């Protein structure tokens, strides 16, 4: 961390990092710098994507160059304890209605847009990964009539996912399926 190199004497009672640890190519170096800027018995609060979450298909953003690591509760507990942390609590986000809708929508992907329009859908998270010039050109690009029709059909399909998610929620709750995030609060021993 640049901060710890610039301000080695600055210490904090609490350090937070939400959806950061999975992006670290060297998590040991990152956690060492977190420890170095904590006061004795200082706290950390963090979240990471939950490896044990319910998902209906692969998420390309769950792999490098976006996510270098995938965490479950045991792995997170293990690494934090090795860095001298006492785990005070962990919590796995339960599946909620919006997450269920999203996962059902993902499961119903058909590739039809590519077949009809000749190109893949471009989502905001795809644009975020582009260099500035390409992102700007993509945003400014006019949609064809086929792309507009497919966009409307995509919205209809997503709308149909709502009653499906409503019907699935009792089962998902019964099975205690987990959603996207794992939260942790720990104290430096």
Tokens matching residue 100: 């269920």
Only one residue has tokens 């709750």, namely 173
Average pLDDT taken over every residue of the chain: 91
Give one DSSP letter per residue of 49-88, joined into a string: EBTT---SS--GGGSTTT-S--B-HHHHHHHHHHTTEEEE
CB 180 within 8 A of CB 99: yes
Neighbours of 143 (CB within 10 A): 11
1 — pLDDT class (breaks 50, 70, 90):
low
Query: Torsion over CA of 40, 45, 48 and 54, rounded to 10 degrees?
Result: 130
Based on its alpha-carbon atoms, the radius of gyration of the chain, rounded to whole angstroms, reads 21
The pLDDT score that the predictor gives to residue 101 is 96
Distance between CA atoms of 100 and 164, rounded to whole angstroms? Answer: 9
112: CATH: 3.40.50
Question: pTM of the prediction?
Answer: 0.81
Tokens matching residue 60: 């390309």
Distance between CA atoms of 110 and 125, rounded to whole angstroms? Answer: 19
- The total domain count for the chain is 1
Tens-digit pLDDT profile for residues 116-127: 888 777 777 778
Distance between CA atoms of 187 and 189, rounded to whole angstroms? Answer: 6
Tens-digit pLDDT profile for residues 77-116: 999 999 999 999 999 999 999 999 999 998 888 888 888 8
Q: Helices 73-82 and 27-36, interaxial angle, to 10°? A: 50
Which residues constitute the domain of residue 9? 2-188
Lowest mean per-residue pLDDT among 20-24, 63-67, 76-80, 100-104: 63-67
- Looking at the predicted structure, is the pLDDT value of residue 183 above 90? yes
């Amino acid at each position: 961390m640049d901060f710890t190199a610039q301000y080695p004497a600055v210490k904090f009672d609490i350090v937070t990092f939400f959806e950061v640890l999975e992006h670290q190519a060297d998590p040991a170096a990152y956690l060492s710098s977190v420890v170095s800027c904590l006061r004795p018995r200082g706290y950390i609060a963090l979240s990471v994507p939950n490896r044990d979450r319910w998902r209906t298909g692969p998420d390309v953003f769950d792999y490098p160059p976006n996510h270098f690591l995938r965490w479950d509760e045991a792995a997170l507990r293990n690494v934090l304890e090795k860095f001298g942390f006492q785990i005070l609590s962990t919590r796995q986000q339960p599946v909620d209605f919006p997450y269920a809708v999203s996962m059902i929508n993902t499961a119903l992907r058909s590739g039809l847009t590519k077949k009809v329009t000749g190109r893949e859908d471009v989502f905001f998270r795809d644009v975020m990964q582009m260099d500035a010039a390409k992102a700007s050109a993509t945003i400014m690009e006019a949609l064809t009539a086929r792309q507009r029709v497919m966009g409307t059909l995509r919205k209809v399909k997503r709308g149909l996912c709502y009653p499906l998610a409503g019907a699935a929620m009792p089962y998902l709750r019964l099975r205690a399926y987990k959603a996207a995030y794992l939260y942790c609060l720990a104290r430096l021993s």
